[in-house]
Structure 1
Amino acid sequence: MVQKDYFQEFEKLLAQAKDLNAKIKDMQEGLSSILVENAELKIENDNLRNKLNNKNSAKANDDVSQAHQNLEKLYSQGYHVCTPMYGSHRKDNEECAFCLGIIYGRSDNKSKVN
């Protein structure tokens, strides 16, 4: 009878091992699916961040560019754009070193107002 108990115990362990193996395969498939989805989401997240950063930097550049154009326009119309005399009229359109420093002091803007 001892042999029969060993055989039954062996059959029971074998069935448990098969069940465990099936559960492991299911978990492996689920984990693989999750890892693939995670990688796709990371890529999508990076792409969205890049688009957002590009959009924000383009908007900031547009804003700076527009502000710079406004200063140039005011200066060309004969007004000071420098801090000490902002908004006051330039007599006989005389040059103002402070205004010119503000308008042309930036290295990325090389154009000049006539």
Structure 2
Amino acid sequence: MEKRELLASFEELEQMALQMQNTIAAVKEELDELVEQNAELEIENAHLRARLQELDARKKPRVDRTTKNGLSKSRQNLEKLYDEGFHVCNVDNMYGSRRINDEPCVFCQDVIYGERR
């Protein structure tokens, strides 16, 4: 192979690598959106199931609004989002953004469990 052919091959390989990098970034962004949408749909599904149960048990008075671990349903939803890897705190407008490597966030935990401690 001549030097020019080698250089041309290298430039072509570089362009292919850049295209692949762009494709991977786009797929990752779509995957993040799908994970977020899935979490929202799971929460909505849980709300709908709870509403159906309320309608079925209309005659029974509702006594306790807290359930699992003493958390209200809204805090359970926040806990679920947090467990899915999203921020639920409002610090620096982080709500809804992904937690990098699922690192713990003291502010999010305070929002979820703050009154219980």
Structure-2 residue corresponding to 1:45? 27
1:39, CA displacement in angstroms?
0.9
Return the structure number with greater helix share: 1
Q: Which amino acid aligns with 2:16?
A: I
Distance, in Å, in 2 between the alignment partners of 1:42 and 1:27 is: 22
Residues 58 and 66 (structure 1), Cα distance of their counterparts in 2 relative to 1, 3 Å cut: same
1:50, CA displacement in angstroms?
0.7
1:108, CA displacement in angstroms?
3.9
1:31, CA displacement in angstroms?
0.9
TM-score normalised by structure 2 residue count: 0.52
Structure-1 residue corresponding to 2:59? 78
Deviations 1:34-54 (A, max 9, x none): 111011011001011011111
Q: Which amino acid aligns with 2:59?
A: G
Q: CA RMSD in A?
A: 2.3
What is the DSSP-based 3-state SS (H/G/I as helix, E as strand, rest coil) of the residue aligned with 2:33?
helix
Q: Which amino acid aligns with 2:45?
A: D
Structure 2 residue 17 is the aligned partner of structure 1 residue 22: no
Structure-2 residue corresponding to 1:4? none
1:104, CA displacement in angstroms?
3.5
Structure 2 residue 67 is the aligned partner of structure 1 residue 105: yes
Return 5+ residue gaps in structure 2 as ranges: 75-117
Structure 2 residue 24 is the aligned partner of structure 1 residue 62: no
Q: Which amino acid aligns with 1:63?
A: N
Residues 30 and 104 (structure 1), Cα distance of their counterparts in 2 relative to 1, 3 Å cut: same
Deviations 1:59-112 (A, max 9, x none): 11100011112222333x215xxxxxxxxxxxxx5x78xxx5xx64132416xx
Structure-2 residue corresponding to 1:16? none
What is the DSSP-based 3-state SS (H/G/I as helix, E as strand, rest coil) of the residue aligned with 2:59?
coil
Structure-1 residue corresponding to 2:16? 34
Distance, in Å, in 2 between the alignment partners of 1:108 and 1:26 is: 63
Distance, in Å, in 1 between the alignment partners of 2:9 and 2:45 is: 53
